[in-house]
């Protein structure tokens, strides 16, 4: 069955526009108050008053303040991840693809550092609430993207093929997240400086991967060949 077309001048169209306008005002009010007063000192009621909506309307979109915080960034962060997926090139070196993805996120978070610091603080253990699922989905996409980049580098022989590219992608994401926090913690966050430090941290892991992956079985290690055919070993400690 075809979906009926809603005329912009119809009652349904007017309600849809009003709903979008309320959502826009709620996002703007939450963002401005969080930055001006701080997350802890801002109340849901203050956000409702600033947005010109009832407190009950706020709860249609967010269960609590943390939900409201992520309501302000979920959609733009999803768009950044879309751009990151489009930025990778199967023919480019591993580090170049990693930094292409990271640069877009650094630019996004660095463009609103005060709000970003709040987001990075509150994202820890954020797994419940109306906005939690969209945020978790975007984060999983980024982890999978790092894993895909690792898999592409292994396919070209740039690095030894890891046992699980997604696990390496998770490690890459952890490095990225810690370096991003460290960069944003500074009073002045120069993009080039942050990316240089991230590149150094990534390179440390990449150099380890180039030496060959170590597989663990029943408490013992065995080596696999790296891209150059050399065998490496590891001793359990």
**pLDDT score of 231 more than 70:** no
Domain residues of the chain, as ranges? 11-64, 73-223
Question: CATH code for 11-64?
Answer: 1.10.10.60
DSSP code, position 120: H
**Distance (Å, whole) CA 131 – CA 37:** 22
73-223 is classed CATH 2.10.109.10: no
**pLDDT score of 53 more than 80:** yes
Q: How many CB atoms lie within 10 A of CB 226?
A: 18
Question: What are 6-40's pLDDT values in tens digits?
Answer: 555 566 777 788 888 999 999 999 999 999 998 88
Place of tokens 């309600």: 15
When pLDDT is averaged across residues 86-113 and rounded to a whole number, the result is: 95
**pLDDT score of 232 more than 70:** no
State residue 222 phi and psi, 5-degree precision. Answer: -140, 155
**SS3 category, 141:** helix
Question: What are 110-162's pLDDT values in tens digits?
Answer: 998 888 988 888 887 777 778 888 999 999 999 999 999 999 999 999 988 87
Q: What is the mean pLDDT of the chain?
A: 83
Q: Looking at residue 11, what is its pLDDT?
A: 67
Q: Looking at residue 108, what is its pLDDT?
A: 95
Q: Express as a percent the part of the chain with pLDDT over 70.
A: 83
When pLDDT is averaged across residues 3-8 and rounded to a whole number, the result is: 51
Q: Check if the beta carbon of residue 124 is closer than 8 Å to that of residue 62.
A: no
- Report the candidate in 235, 233, 192, 190 with the shortest Cα–Cα distance to residue 211: 233
- Beta strand pairing status for 220-223 and 214-217? antiparallel
Span between the terminal Cα atoms of the chain, in Å: 64
When pLDDT is averaged across residues 164-189 and rounded to a whole number, the result is: 91
DSSP code, position 231: B
Q: Looking at residue 208, what is its pLDDT?
A: 80
Q: Check if the beta carbon of residue 169 is closer than 8 Å to that of residue 145.
A: yes
Chain center to CA of 118 = 14
When pLDDT is averaged across residues 76-90 and rounded to a whole number, the result is: 95
The residue length of the chain stands at 237
When pLDDT is averaged across residues 158-167 and rounded to a whole number, the result is: 86
DSSP code, position 10: S
Q: Looking at residue 17, what is its pLDDT?
A: 87
DSSP code, position 30: H
Q: Tokens for 58?
A: 């706020």
């Amino acid at each position: 069955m075809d979906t009926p077309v809603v005329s912009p001048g119809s009652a349904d169209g007017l309600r849809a526009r009003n709903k979008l306008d309320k959502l826009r005002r709620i996002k703007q009010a939450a963002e401005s108050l969080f930055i001006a007063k701080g997350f802890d000192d801002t109340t849901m009621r203050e956000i409702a008053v600033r947005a010109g909506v009832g407190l009950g309307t706020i709860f249609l979109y967010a269960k609590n303040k943390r939900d409201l915080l992520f309501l302000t960034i979920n959609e733009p962060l999803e768009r950044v991840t879309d751009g990151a997926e489009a930025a990778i090139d199967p023919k480019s070196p591993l580090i170049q693809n990693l930094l292409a993805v990271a640069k877009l996120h650094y630019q996004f978070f660095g463009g609103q550092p005060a709000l970003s610091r709040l987001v990075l603080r509150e994202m820890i253990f954020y797994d419940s609430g109306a906005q939690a699922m969209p945020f978790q989905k975007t984060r999983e996409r980024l982890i999978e993207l790092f894993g895909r980049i690792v898999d592409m580098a292994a396919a070209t022989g740039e690095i030894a093929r890891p046992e699980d590219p997604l696990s390496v992608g998770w490690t890459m994401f952890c490095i990225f997240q810690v370096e991003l926090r460290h960069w944003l913690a500074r009073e002045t966050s120069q993009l080039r400086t942050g990316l240089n430090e991230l590149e150094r941290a990534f390179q440390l892991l990449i150099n380890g991967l180039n030496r060959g992956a170590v597989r663990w079985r029943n408490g013992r290690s065995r080596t696999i060949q790296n891209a150059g055919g050399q065998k490496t070993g590891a001793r359990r400690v």
